[in-house]
Structure 1
Amino acid sequence: MRIRLKTMVLMLALSMGMVALGQKTKKQAFITDKPFTQEYSIKYNFDNSRVKLKTVASDRNGYIQVLTNQGLLRPRAGEMLFPGELVKDVQYRPTSDKGLKSLDRYKDQLVYIDDKAVLSNAWAGKLYTRHNIPDASIFAADDDFTFLISDGKKLCLLKDTDVLWEGTASDEVKDLKYDALNQQYWILGANSISVFSPQKKKIDQVVNQSTLTCIEIYKNDLVVGTSDGYFKIDTKTQQPGETFKKLPWTEITTVENIDGELWFGSTWGAFKLNDTNNYSYYAGKRWIPSDNVIDIAKGPENSVLILTDKGLGKICRKEMTLYDKAMFYEKQVRERHIRNGFNATVSNMVDGDVTTGSLETSDNDGLWTTMYLAGEVFRYVVTKSDDALQNVRESVDALERLYTINPVPGFPSRSFERRGYKYHDWPWRRAEDPEWDWKSTTSSDEAIGHIFAFGAIAELIDDAELKATSIALIDTLMAHTLKHNFYMVDWDGNPTKWARWNPEYVNARPIMVGDRKINASNYIGMLQTAYHFTEKEKYKEAAFYLMEEHGYLENLMRPMNEIGMAPEDADELSRELSDGWNHSDDEMYYCGYWGLYRYAFNDELKAKYKEAIIDHWKYERQEKEGLWNIMTALAGPDNYDFEEAVWYLQKYPLDLVNWTVLNSHRKDIEFVEPNFRKQTIKEVLPASELRISRHNANRFDLDSRGDGRSENSAGDIWLLPYWIGRYLGVISEPVQK
């Protein structure tokens, strides 16, 4: 006869003593949570093929203008996730009606050229330097309002009302830059670079080359962009240096020195030179409306403006701590990603618009929710937030219902949904309640997620009902697997495809097949958790039976470097399971390590488990996965690349939309030979340049065609590693400047 779960919970709540709250000794965290620079994008789209976008600039007041072949545009509206647009600028018609030919920032003000003068609305409009080159469209200025202008052929040096020099270039003039250090002007020609000395009134050619595209002054050099990389010219000696081609993309369209940072635009995105001589890459709709970059400029409030042929991208840079970022993500999850208490994805979106998408059911609703739930448990433990505790209650309600909505005692459904609102017919089953359906074929990754989260609640949450519910759910799930000979058995009386921990299945795999190790590791941890909180000997006896009689300890201790492809004569399933490293296994291992290590039966086993965990971390180390590095702190006080974990957390995009992300074309990454590990390049890229992915993905995957069709929840991706990092003492409380 089936025992109703609610009755079990009430009995446990009445009979059990309070399980001791896990206490941590207060100590200095490894990483101090100081403010860092968080980047995100606001986009302003423009779709008019008859209008050619040319340059962008902003002034000290934050006013942004875009010059086109048909006048001035300005941004309208726009915020992160909700693009604005570029519209006709009519704010000050005496300027916008002039038929302007050029626009730039000079002394933090907007300066223009029309057919009569160099002019500005700053300085009370007193800057109005007349010229006699009607088609002038290029200018550069020294520090004292002296302007060199050109129409592409003629050159004229102007100061106030005086013409200081006039001349004709031997090559078509494309751009001008003033070199304050050497008090000279650099001239970019179609096929040359020259330098003009105002003192000598003389032009000298320095470089003759046909691939030149743009120039900029940077420190003591002139940086020269080409159609195949860039090079530098020493502005004092006028000697060119080597050409740099190890770039995200080599077809350079523009280069800009913004407050000492060197930015490049190209025909495939924008990038910035970092202090380590590598490049941060801003490509795809996560950052800019189009990858064809026309111009780059300094923007308001420490932003960078990237003008493309389809509009403007404003790269905003905000000082925040990891805690600030966590609070941003907490809001994101609660506003858009909670479905019936589950941590869910928004899908079927149109071009990144989160208001066009719908919350979806998932085969792994249970797993993604338990990972978010565990994060909220750790949040509550370190902050005592009532909000976190309520989030825990709501997710536990959803997980508890997974067990009661189906007719199989102790069996957790994959998910449930209102009847008529499901994405696929299989494997949905009708619930007793005619309003609902439930999803069957639950897998081992669901089970390990449940045990991880319920164990964390049972140990750490100071709420009797939540503890009792969690322990009851651990007990009912694990009793089900013991009753069914180490299998999870579905509605039809048969084991599900993947929830199989029986030795006949596990040990049927050759020893190098990862399923043999992962199933042993997970199941021993699950049995330990059940024994720790219920004190029922059957769980302890089952664990030692599997370890001593069926080699489960040997299985889980097998070094990661021995995991590989099954031999050709192995069975079909073993060969299918070992065609490459399974990153879902990484996620399952680490969810399982909580119970494996924390609730070990004895110190001898605990020492062995520590060895296995650290061996796994070393195998995964090159991936710089924030959660793995942080959770390895379970095994002891050493530093498991915690700086890399914080790098992961800091670089993860605020925008969790699954945009198309492409990197395999890049020329600044070093590819490696195909391998079992599925590592594609020598050094993993930062999260800001990769697709949005859960922890079961390969961080060495370079390309993804997301097209803005979905938005992931930060609940499992980011909040779990952050909050468990706070709990384990890896990350400190926020420290302001």
Structure 2
Amino acid sequence: MMVDAAPLFLNLLILLPLLISAIAEDTYYEYIFSSEEDDIPTTPPPPHTTLSARNQIPSVSTSQYNVLATADQKIVFQNKTTTETERWEWVTDLSGAWGGVIDAPITSLAYSPSSELLYIGTTEVLNFWDEKTSRFSRIGGNEGLPMRNITSLTVDDEKGFVYIGTTEGLILYRPSNKQHTWRYFAGPRYLPDDYIVGLSLNPTGSLDILHESQTTTLKPTKFTLSKKQAHFTNMLNERHRRTNLVSDFPNHDSDNDGLWTSLVLVSSLLEASLTSSAAASDSASYFLRGLTLLNEVPNSPGFFARSVCAPEEWGVTCGNQDAGGDWNVSTHPDYQNWFYKSDTSSDEAVGQIFGLLMSYKLSDVPEDKKTAKKLLTTIVNNLIDNDLNLIDPLTRQPTLWGRWGPEEVNNNRQWSDTRGLQSLQIVSFLAAAAAVTDPTHPDQQKYSTEFNRLAQEEGYLQNLLNTKITTPIDLNYSDDELTFLPYLTFFIALEMLEENKTGTTITIATAPITSSLERTFQFVRPEQSSLWNSIFLACTSILPSPLSDKDRNQIINDIIYNLETWPLSHIDYETRNENRIDFNWENSSSRFGETHSESSKKIAPFPANERRQFRWNASPYAITDGGSNSVETDPGAFLLPYWLSKYYGLF
């Protein structure tokens, strides 16, 4: 198959991210929980609220009636003036197969004066009665209700909220909000006990949640995304810095310190570029120093470590026996008694090239730009000199996953599922190296020659057309991250090459990479990922066939939704959603051979704050995910798509 030459539009390419039409940033609600053990309120709730508990007969007043549920399976409407019964309806009795307009035994009632709706909690669904029309309706799992076994109800008419207590958590129903209609709060991230006995709305607008032996208070708090960004930036600065690398808290090493650090590095660069913030610029320099350490400590130019450990950290925040990893002592004279973790993977290569390219492009510190250029070109030149393999300095063999040469990519059956991925990565690496190299430098010819070999002789541009593996048993969400970052790396490099008028043949990769990006995004779009979406829009902003306004705005809305529903807490609390009634199971097996482990990929997954996903290398569809309840993940997964969206004027 022949690959089209570079489109003519590239000759006129000028990327103006800040001039892209923007959608205004709005306020939204975050939900702040606090608990008090064994402190059950003894005073009754205010008259405008409903406190329901077990063994109570549910009753409530509407504008016309006193309504109560009776023991003989009826809902009764009494005249408020005469107290005479004017009407009653049957409640369904499943044991006798006797139907009624109410689905199941009534556990709670609450009335909304503004909408004139009577909400009826049952053991199966949420029913409601419209006082204007006297008609009953139902809301079950198909309509979005997350959980059955309702125990209590109360309405915040001012906000348009309906709070629903259940035996397995708290539900918030917002009938007038089409995107944030339902929220489900359960598990240790939110509640000390999922069994809710009663609810009480306070005059201040907060909600008291009554459990068996304690109460929890929920305070809906208005937020903006900029306020949330500030929250995560403070978190990053206070608890997630270790030896110029980003780290979980408590601090420790990981296998991919370079990749995770690159995300916060680029976030800081984008922030500094947009806001001229000295703090953001300093943060970018700090984390660039981390990528530099990964390159310098192994004392082998062109090789970079998974992680490094300073002498005072060894055995404390890194290098612990239970952490594993291939640790080696540095031979660099400036890093005596330092350790580095080897057998470096493609994850680290993707992070290094992405972070170094963006540092060269955006840094306002001349020395940082110089460092980034030197490291990036040294890495790529080292790969070219070693048949596109990352050579471990101790074994003198390619690392397990650091292989981009045709021998592995095209001819090794065990690499068949990464054929497109590795091809895309190495093409983006070559483009990045060319972009930071002077047009007249001899290395430009080196990069063009290597690119031409891969494109014309080895079929790499055809390989990358179908980068995304869609076979269900081989879906790897980590590979999505290792795909989208190279997409962005390539298009950023392309912009720089056009600005510099660099005459390189690498630009002919634009058409196949564009086709690959569009295909990949088609598969991941239902995830509503703020990072995939923002990268897609950043790249497609320079394509010859722009998206329709409707399509583009929907993608932006999904970015905002994902960022708004991203959890404020990054502690790895366990989440369990298997008992929910508002989803369908994915029928296909996962790559681990599991069935009934994920929700259907035909629709969007649960919002981020109802699942356990703090990085972009994990499945958003996972239904149940265990956690330690004690480790806080760094906030790079929020900060990068936030600042990328701001940089490209998406909101």
In the superposition, the TM-score normalised over structure 2's length comes to 0.82
Task: Give the letter for the 2:44 counterpart.
Answer: L
Secondary structure, aligned partner of 1:641: helix
Please name the residue that 1:695 is paired with.
616
Please name the residue that 2:460 is paired with.
552
Contact 1:520-1:552 at 8 Å conserved across structures: yes
Deviation at 1:582, TM superposition (A): 1.1
The reply to whether residue 532 of structure 1 matches residue 431 of structure 2 is: no
Query: Which of the two has greater strand per residue?
Result: 1
The reply to whether residue 225 of structure 1 matches residue 121 of structure 2 is: yes
Please name the residue that 2:396 is paired with.
493
Gaps of 5+ in 1: 1-21, 54-65, 73-101, 112-136, 140-151, 153-171, 347-357, 566-577, 732-737
Secondary structure, aligned partner of 2:509: helix
- CA gap of 1:486–1:26, structure 2 versus 1, over 3 A, is closer
Name which of 436, 441, 447 aligns with 2:338.
Answer: 436
Deviation at 1:223, TM superposition (A): 2.0
Name which of 528, 533, 548 aligns with 1:629.
Answer: 533
Tell me how far apart the structure 1 counterparts of residues 615 and 109 of structure 2 sit (CA, whole Å): 41
Name which of 267, 272, 275 aligns with 2:172.
Answer: 272
Which deviations, in whole Å up to 9, do the C-alpha atoms of 1:697-725 show, x marking residues without a partner?
111112111141211111x2100001111
Please name the residue that 2:149 is paired with.
251
Contact 1:416-1:438 at 8 Å conserved across structures: yes
Query: Which of the two has greater helix per residue?
Result: 2
Tell me how far apart the structure 1 counterparts of residues 187 and 117 of structure 2 sit (CA, whole Å): 30
Tell me how far apart the structure 1 counterparts of residues 293 and 578 of structure 2 sit (CA, whole Å): 44
In the superposition, the TM-score normalised over structure 1's length comes to 0.73
Name which of 159, 175, 190 aligns with 2:58.
Answer: 175
Q: Which deviates more, 587-596 or 664-673? A: 664-673
The reply to whether residue 402 of structure 1 matches residue 294 of structure 2 is: yes
Contact 1:40-1:653 at 8 Å conserved across structures: no
Secondary structure, aligned partner of 1:534: coil
Q: Which deviates more, 255-264 or 622-631? A: 255-264
Deviation at 1:258, TM superposition (A): 1.4
Q: Mapping of 1:89-108 within 5 angstroms?
A: 103-106=44-47
- CA gap of 1:198–1:550, structure 2 versus 1, over 3 A, is closer
Q: Which deviates more, 673-682 or 440-449? A: 673-682
The reply to whether residue 657 of structure 1 matches residue 571 of structure 2 is: yes
Q: Mapping of 1:54-69 within 5 angstroms?
A: 66-67=40-41
Deviation at 1:370, TM superposition (A): 0.6
Q: Which deviates more, 328-337 or 300-309? A: 300-309
Secondary structure, aligned partner of 1:593: helix
Quote the RMSD (CA, aligned, Å): 2.8
Contact 1:509-1:515 at 8 Å conserved across structures: no
- CA gap of 1:105–1:545, structure 2 versus 1, over 3 A, is same
Contact 2:613-2:619 at 8 Å conserved across structures: no
Deviation at 1:187, TM superposition (A): 2.2
Count of aligned residue pairs for this structure pair: 573
Task: Give the letter for the 2:153 counterpart.
Answer: V
Q: Mapping of 1:446-525 within 5 angstroms?
A: 446-490=348-392, 491-509=394-412, 513-525=416-428
- CA gap of 1:387–1:698, structure 2 versus 1, over 3 A, is same
Tell me how far apart the structure 1 counterparts of residues 613 and 187 of structure 2 sit (CA, whole Å): 13
Tell me how far apart the structure 2 counterparts of residues 495 and 688 of structure 1 sit (CA, whole Å): 40
Q: Which deviates more, 302-311 or 460-469? A: 302-311
Name which of 655, 660, 680 aligns with 2:599.
Answer: 680
- CA gap of 1:605–1:104, structure 2 versus 1, over 3 A, is same
Contact 2:58-2:106 at 8 Å conserved across structures: no
The reply to whether residue 193 of structure 1 matches residue 75 of structure 2 is: yes
Identity of aligned residues (%): 24
Q: Mapping of 1:418-437 within 5 angstroms?
A: 418-421=313-316, 422-423=319-320, 424-432=323-331, 433-437=335-339
Please name the residue that 1:119 is paired with.
none
Name which of 28, 37, 40 aligns with 1:37.
Answer: 28
Gaps of 5+ in 2: 1-13, 94-104, 495-503, 542-546, 592-596
Deviation at 1:215, TM superposition (A): 1.2
Secondary structure, aligned partner of 2:301: coil
Contact 2:52-2:151 at 8 Å conserved across structures: no
Contact 1:227-1:251 at 8 Å conserved across structures: yes
The reply to whether residue 592 of structure 1 matches residue 489 of structure 2 is: no
Please name the residue that 2:98 is paired with.
none
- CA gap of 1:419–1:220, structure 2 versus 1, over 3 A, is closer
- CA gap of 1:173–1:694, structure 2 versus 1, over 3 A, is closer
Secondary structure, aligned partner of 2:45: strand
Q: Which deviates more, 499-508 or 195-204? A: 195-204
Deviation at 1:401, TM superposition (A): 1.2
Deviation at 1:410, TM superposition (A): 1.8
Tell me how far apart the structure 2 counterparts of residues 654 and 510 of structure 1 sit (CA, whole Å): 43
Please name the residue that 1:381 is paired with.
273
- CA gap of 1:435–1:308, structure 2 versus 1, over 3 A, is farther
